[in-house]
């Protein structure tokens, strides 16, 4: 740990955020209380699909301590929850109303809201709200022929189409065609802290406050202000500590709107905390896709074309993201490979399940799985090794920046930099691929079901367009950085502090980073899409440079020197290279820049500046994952024995935090690959509503994750050269685990679905053993 370095960028310093967290003084949504607050409890639909005939709240209203019970009628003036990216006429019929009015479309859909003196009474009263629903047949299979949810409202809300070239010709001319039908199960983020929202109206200031905000406070402020018909200046969002975001927390849900409206109309603060069961049916789910994907290959195993028709199980409504996950899937699917012709159609299908949206690595976990399954299948079909077929198709370093006529997250896809094959070679060398292959082969010969998997992928990060930061150095010497970013626990404060400290010759512990507060800075896009570090750190660097220039200019006057001869070391301005010479601290310089200071001269008051960073393109980190999987043939259980993530981050501000992101991400990816699934029965009743049926990986299930972090391809699209890490560990987890398990079975292409269930593996193995098919017969690699 280089806690005293004056080079902070690149140092694995400990996190600034940790002290309150590890001493139990964090402030999560549950810790926030206001005097006289009411507690909200949501009454949810018990049916997956039905006509809502009436809601009888008389008994609940008669209970002691119940302040109000609302149904859709009480908030008829509120519009449905809007899309963050703005109105979309075609998709707008699929938006979710804050409370269901005429129809219910998933189990868990809010039908009424109870407001009471405490959470116990609220729950007692909610049990006494009687909902009269005529149950209808649910739509549960997104890949079945489209139908109607109700007259005029089709289940295919939209189809995202992208592509280029002439796919049909390529398939006609192909040497080989490989076709797969692969699918990913429904799973999502299940953070330790469930959601929470506290609404408070401060009549004295005419400000409506939402506490418990996360991820995108500024953007949510705009949406909420529009929905509630208020000026953005009269709505403020406050982010506290966040016990896990992962894409799910911080979107606008019905409950967020309700606490605000109730705070306004009932004249009391309103607190809502989601319970775990609610989280499992109400928070955004994700991932469920089925790809019918095929590739046209030439005689050397080179991709000529990919044609993918996939079905995305969106659930009952389109939430804040609209159809974004599907669009990203389309834009990112080709990954690290050269692909002359491409056609993709992503069907956004509505079903009677909990609505879906983004979960860490949306569209990439899915598309990497589909594409890498395809690459393995191509290798097996042509008798090439799984490594060789990938090598032949990787985009070369000389082709960078590499432009593909595709769009992801509204950006044209241009891979800014990358040395994919070099990373593959490093990964193979690091894990000792040849020896590993021999070892696996001999274990298989001895009857073990063990296999090797590989996945190569391109990540995306640093979604623009713009972020700002304001730096103010106080007369105490403390450096305050006010950002429009958000911290979802990833170490945001630490990395922004490191960048500022480096530019300002100060200790990173002298830096206080403000985030997630709409009352401190006007704009901000927040923390999603692996963008926070890239965008905010670059903006902070711009602001820090301006502050530095101002400090040196002021100091030049005070030290009677030329600013060009000055440097900032240890928080003091000194003459470059002169040890023990005159020095003036940043705090003192701030003092000289007070509005009333006589030494300030014509300079604007304050040792402060604002910096902005804009980008028109995302930056694309990339990785290679290698896994060794073993199947217990007596039970079908899979154990990942070894796991390597080789990842090029461009430039790591804090390698320790990058590694933490990669390992944590992989753990979640392992969950979605082997354990986690939101399942529904034939009536659309959710079956995974507790931690006894939705299985999260524990420390005992997650292997040691070996990380090979490289900085071979700094980003060309931002001055710091950084790329993001937030989603790099999870993005290819499904792909690599499937590849390894498939190899362990020794029967190529058997793994076409995630999560991989022990029952299914045991059945396959029993069948192999019965027919005497030796697992050792097919080679790995």
Partner 1 sequence: MKPARFCYHQPTTVDEAVALLGQLAPEDGRILAGGQSLVPTMAFRMAQPPHLIDINGIAELAGIEVDGDIVRIGACVRHTAFEVAGAVPGATGVWLRKVVRHIAHYPIRTRGTFCGSVANADPASEWCCAVTAIDGRIVARSASGVRRIAANQFFEGVMATTRRDDELVTSVELSLLPEGTRCGFAEFSRRPGDFAIAMAMASYRLVDGNRIAEARIAVGGAEPMPRRIAQAEAELNGKTPSTPVFAAVADAAAAAIDPMEDSNNTADYRRGLVRTMTLRALENAA
Q: For Cα atoms 511, 652, 474, give the angle at the middle one, nearest 5 degrees.
A: 10
Among 759, 770, 771, 772, binds partner 1 (CB under 8 A): 759
- Which is closer to partner 1, CB of 466 or CB of 760? 760
**SS3 for 666?**
helix
- Which is closer to partner 1, CB of 430 or CB of 762? 762
Minimum distance, C-beta of residue 408 to partner 1, in the bound complex (Å): 35
Taking phi first (over 0 means left), then psi (-120 to 50 degrees means alpha), and beta for anything else, what does residue 570 get? left
Q: Is 698 in the site for partner 1 (CB under 8 A)?
A: yes
Q: Is 737 in the site for partner 1 (CB under 8 A)?
A: no
Q: Is 64 in the site for partner 1 (CB under 8 A)?
A: no
Residue 755: asked if its preceding bond is cis (omega within 30°), the reply is: yes
C-alpha span between 32 and 212 (Å, rounded): 8
Nearest CA among 411, 113, 359, 106 for reference residue 254: 113
Helix and strand counts by DSSP (H, E) for the chain: 19, 31
C-alpha span between 557 and 561 (Å, rounded): 7
Whether 762 and 635 have beta carbons less than 8 Å apart is answered as: yes
Paired tokens of 397: 């370093």
Minimum distance, C-beta of residue 481 to partner 1, in the bound complex (Å): 39
- Which is closer to partner 1, CB of 675 or CB of 776? 675
Q: Is 682 in the site for partner 1 (CB under 8 A)?
A: no
Whether 372 and 732 have beta carbons less than 8 Å apart is answered as: yes
C-alpha span between 224 and 778 (Å, rounded): 58
Q: Is 769 in the site for partner 1 (CB under 8 A)?
A: no
C-alpha span between 369 and 366 (Å, rounded): 5
Among 119, 207, 422, 656, binds partner 1 (CB under 8 A): 119
The one-character DSSP state at 694 is S
Minimum distance, C-beta of residue 176 to partner 1, in the bound complex (Å): 36
Among 641, 757, 778, 779, binds partner 1 (CB under 8 A): 757
Name beta bridge partners: 647.
623, 709
Q: How many CB atoms lie within 10 A of CB 587?
A: 18
C-alpha span between 477 and 499 (Å, rounded): 17
- Which is closer to partner 1, CB of 434 or CB of 766? 766
C-alpha span between 143 and 647 (Å, rounded): 35
Among 679, 711, 714, 779, binds partner 1 (CB under 8 A): 679
- Which is closer to partner 1, CB of 10 or CB of 758? 758
- Which is closer to partner 1, CB of 383 or CB of 704? 704
Minimum distance, C-beta of residue 767 to partner 1, in the bound complex (Å): 12
Strand segments (E) across 560-634: 566-569, 572-575, 583-585, 607-614, 622-631
Q: Is 123 in the site for partner 1 (CB under 8 A)?
A: yes
Q: For Cα atoms 359, 360, 366, give the angle at the middle one, nearest 5 degrees.
A: 75
Q: Is 695 in the site for partner 1 (CB under 8 A)?
A: yes
- Which is closer to partner 1, CB of 672 or CB of 697? 697
Q: Is 690 in the site for partner 1 (CB under 8 A)?
A: yes
Whether 743 and 380 have beta carbons less than 8 Å apart is answered as: no
- Which is closer to partner 1, CB of 18 or CB of 118? 118
Q: Is 634 in the site for partner 1 (CB under 8 A)?
A: yes
C-alpha span between 657 and 13 (Å, rounded): 9
Whether 480 and 510 have beta carbons less than 8 Å apart is answered as: no
Paired tokens of 198: 């506290």
Among 612, 766, 769, 774, binds partner 1 (CB under 8 A): 766
Binding track, positions 387-426, relative to partner 1; x by CB under 8 A: ----------------------------------------
Q: Is 63 in the site for partner 1 (CB under 8 A)?
A: no
Minimum distance, C-beta of residue 738 to partner 1, in the bound complex (Å): 18
Q: Is 62 in the site for partner 1 (CB under 8 A)?
A: no
Residues touching partner 1: how many (CB under 8 A)?
Answer: 29
C-alpha span between 156 and 148 (Å, rounded): 8
Part in contact with partner 1 (CB under 8 A); list of ranges 46-54, 615-623, 631-639, 716-724: 631-639
- Which is closer to partner 1, CB of 315 or CB of 697? 697
Task: Report helix angle 758-771 to 733-745, nearest 10.
Answer: 20
Minimum distance, C-beta of residue 174 to partner 1, in the bound complex (Å): 40
- Which is closer to partner 1, CB of 256 or CB of 274? 274
Minimum distance, C-beta of residue 135 to partner 1, in the bound complex (Å): 20
Binding track, positions 273-302, relative to partner 1; x by CB under 8 A: --xxx-------------------------
Name beta bridge partners: 583.
574
Nearest CA among 689, 724, 669, 742 for reference residue 189: 669
C-alpha span between 219 and 235 (Å, rounded): 12
C-alpha span between 746 and 765 (Å, rounded): 10
Q: For Cα atoms 491, 321, 364, give the angle at the middle one, nearest 5 degrees.
A: 65
Q: Is 59 in the site for partner 1 (CB under 8 A)?
A: no
First CA to last CA across the chain, in angstroms? Answer: 38
Among 442, 616, 635, 777, binds partner 1 (CB under 8 A): 635
DSSP result, 256-289:
HHHHHHHHHHHSS-EEEE--HHHHHHHS-BB--E
- Which is closer to partner 1, CB of 30 or CB of 714? 30
Q: Is 763 in the site for partner 1 (CB under 8 A)?
A: yes
Q: Is 33 in the site for partner 1 (CB under 8 A)?
A: no
Binding track, positions 637-676, relative to partner 1; x by CB under 8 A: x-------------------------------------x-
Q: Is 124 in the site for partner 1 (CB under 8 A)?
A: yes
Part in contact with partner 1 (CB under 8 A); list of ranges 269-277, 360-368, 512-520, 645-653: 269-277
Part in contact with partner 1 (CB under 8 A); list of ranges 155-163, 272-280, 411-419, 426-434: 272-280
- Which is closer to partner 1, CB of 23 or CB of 759? 759
- Which is closer to partner 1, CB of 89 or CB of 682? 682
- Which is closer to partner 1, CB of 119 or CB of 345? 119
Q: Is 701 in the site for partner 1 (CB under 8 A)?
A: yes
C-alpha span between 173 and 197 (Å, rounded): 58
Nearest CA among 553, 563, 572 for reference residue 507: 572
Minimum distance, C-beta of residue 44 to partner 1, in the bound complex (Å): 13
C-alpha span between 506 and 497 (Å, rounded): 10
Task: Report helix angle 655-670 to 733-745, nearest 10.
Answer: 50
Part in contact with partner 1 (CB under 8 A); list of ranges 253-261, 285-293, 355-363, 693-701: 693-701
Part in contact with partner 1 (CB under 8 A); list of ranges 60-68, 155-163, 474-482, 679-687: 679-687
Exposed, middle or buried, 340 (CB in 10 Å: 0-12/13-18/19+)?
middle
Part in contact with partner 1 (CB under 8 A); list of ranges 3-11, 302-310, 400-408, 692-700: 692-700
Name beta bridge partners: 382.
none
Minimum distance, C-beta of residue 762 to partner 1, in the bound complex (Å): 6
Minimum distance, C-beta of residue 679 to partner 1, in the bound complex (Å): 7
- Which is closer to partner 1, CB of 230 or CB of 679? 679
Whether 322 and 85 have beta carbons less than 8 Å apart is answered as: yes
Name beta bridge partners: 348.
158, 312
Q: For Cα atoms 724, 643, 668, give the angle at the middle one, nearest 5 degrees.
A: 55
Among 20, 27, 58, 120, binds partner 1 (CB under 8 A): 120
Minimum distance, C-beta of residue 272 to partner 1, in the bound complex (Å): 13
What does the binding site for partner 1 look like in residue numbers (CB under 8 A)?
A: 119-120, 123-124, 127, 275-277, 634-637, 675, 679, 681, 687, 690, 692, 695, 697-698, 700-701, 757-759, 762-763, 766
């Amino acid at each position: 740990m280089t806690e005293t370095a004056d080079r902070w960028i690149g140092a694995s310093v400990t996190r600034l955020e940790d002290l309150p967290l590890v001493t139990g003084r964090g402030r999560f949504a549950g810790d926030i209380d206001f005097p006289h607050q009411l507690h909200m409890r949501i009454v949810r639909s018990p049916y997956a699909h039905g006509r809502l005939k009436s809601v009888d709240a008389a008994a609940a209203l008669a209970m002691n301590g119940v302040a109000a019970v609302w149904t859709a009628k009480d908030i008829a003036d509120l519009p449905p929850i809007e899309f963050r990216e703005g109105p979309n006429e075609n998709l707008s019929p699929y938006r979710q109303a804050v409370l269901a009015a005429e129809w219910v479309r998933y189990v868990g859909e809010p039908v009424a809201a109870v407001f009471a003196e405490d959470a116990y009474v609220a729950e007692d009263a909610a049990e006494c709200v009687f909902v009269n629903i005529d149950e209808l047949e649910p739509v549960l299979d997104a890949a079945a022929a489209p139908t109607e949810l109700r007259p005029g409202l089709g289940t295919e809300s939209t189809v995202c189409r992208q592509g280029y070239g002439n796919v049909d010709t390529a398939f006609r001319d192909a040497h080989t065609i490989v076709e797969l039908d692969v699918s990913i199960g429904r799973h999502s983020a299940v953070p330790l802290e469930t959601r929470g929202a506290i609404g408070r109206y401060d009549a004295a200031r005419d400000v409506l406050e939402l506490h418990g905000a996360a991820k995108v406070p500024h953007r949510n402020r705009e949406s909420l202000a529009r929905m509630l018909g208020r000026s953005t200046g009269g709505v403020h969002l406050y982010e506290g500590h966040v016990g896990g975001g992962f894409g799910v927390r911080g979107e606008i849900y019905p409950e967020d709107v309700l606490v605000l409206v109730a705070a306004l109309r009932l004249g009391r603060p309103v607190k809502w905390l989601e319970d775990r069961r609610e989280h499992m049916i109400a928070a955004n789910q994700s991932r469920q896709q089925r790809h019918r994907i095929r590739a046209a290959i030439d005689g050397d195993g080179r991709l000529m074309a990919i044609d993918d028709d996939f079905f995305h199980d969106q659930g009952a409504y389109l939430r804040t993201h609209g159809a974004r996950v599907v669009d990203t899937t389309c834009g990112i699917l080709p990954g690290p490979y050269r692909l002359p012709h491409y056609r993709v159609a992503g069907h956004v299908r509505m079903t009677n399940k909990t609505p879906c949206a983004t979960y860490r690595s949306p569209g990439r976990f899915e598309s990497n799985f589909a594409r890498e399954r395809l690459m393995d299948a191509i290798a097996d079909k042509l008798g090439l090794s799984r490594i060789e077929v990938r090598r032949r198709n990787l985009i070369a370093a000389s082709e960078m920046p590499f432009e593909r006529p595709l769009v992801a997250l509204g950006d044209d896809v241009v891979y800014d930099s990358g040395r994919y094959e070099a990373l593959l070679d490093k990964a193979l060398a690091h894990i000792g691929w040849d020896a590993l292959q021999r070892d696996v082969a001999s274990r298989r010969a001895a009857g073990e079901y063990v296999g090797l998997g590989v996945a190569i992928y391109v990540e995306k990060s640093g979604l623009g367009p713009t972020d700002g930061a304001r730096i103010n150095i106080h007369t105490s010497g403390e450096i305050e950085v006010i950002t429009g970013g958000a911290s979802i626990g990833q170490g945001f404060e630490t990395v922004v502090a490191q960048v500022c400290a480096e530019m300002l010759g100060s200790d990173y512990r002298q830096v206080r980073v403000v985030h997630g507060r709409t009352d401190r800075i006007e704009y901000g896009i927040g923390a999603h899409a692996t963008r926070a570090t890239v965008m905010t750190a670059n903006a902070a660097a711009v602001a820090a440079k301006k502050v530095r220039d101002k400090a040196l200019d002021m100091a030049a006057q005070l030290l009677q020197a030329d600013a060009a001869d000055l440097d900032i070391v240890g928080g003091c301005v000194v003459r470059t290279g002169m040890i023990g010479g005159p020095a003036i601290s940043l705090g003192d310089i701030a003092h000289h820049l007070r509005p009333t200071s006589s030494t300030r001269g014509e300079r604007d008051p304050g040792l402060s500046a604002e910096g902005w960073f804009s980008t028109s393109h995302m930056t694309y980190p990339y990785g290679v994952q290698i896994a060794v999987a073993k199947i217990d043939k007596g039970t079908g259980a899979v154990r990942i024995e070894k796991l390597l993530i080789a990842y090029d981050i461009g430039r790591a501000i804090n390698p320790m935090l990058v590694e933490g992101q990669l390992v944590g991400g992989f753990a979640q990816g392992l969950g979605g690959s082997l354990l986690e699934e939101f399942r529904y029965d034939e009536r659309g009743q959710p079956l995974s509503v507790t931690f006894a049926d939705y299985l999260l990986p524990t420390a005992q299930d997650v292997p040691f994750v070996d990380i090979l972090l490289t900085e071979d391809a700094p980003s060309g699209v931002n001055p710091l050269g950084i790329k993001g890490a937030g989603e790099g560990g999870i993005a290819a987890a499904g792909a690599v685990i499937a590849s390894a398990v498939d190899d362990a079975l020794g029967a190529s292409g058997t793994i076409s679905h995630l999560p991989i269930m022990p029952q299914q593996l045991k059945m396959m193995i029993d069948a192999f053993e019965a027919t005497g098919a030796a697992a050792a017969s097919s080679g790995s690699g």
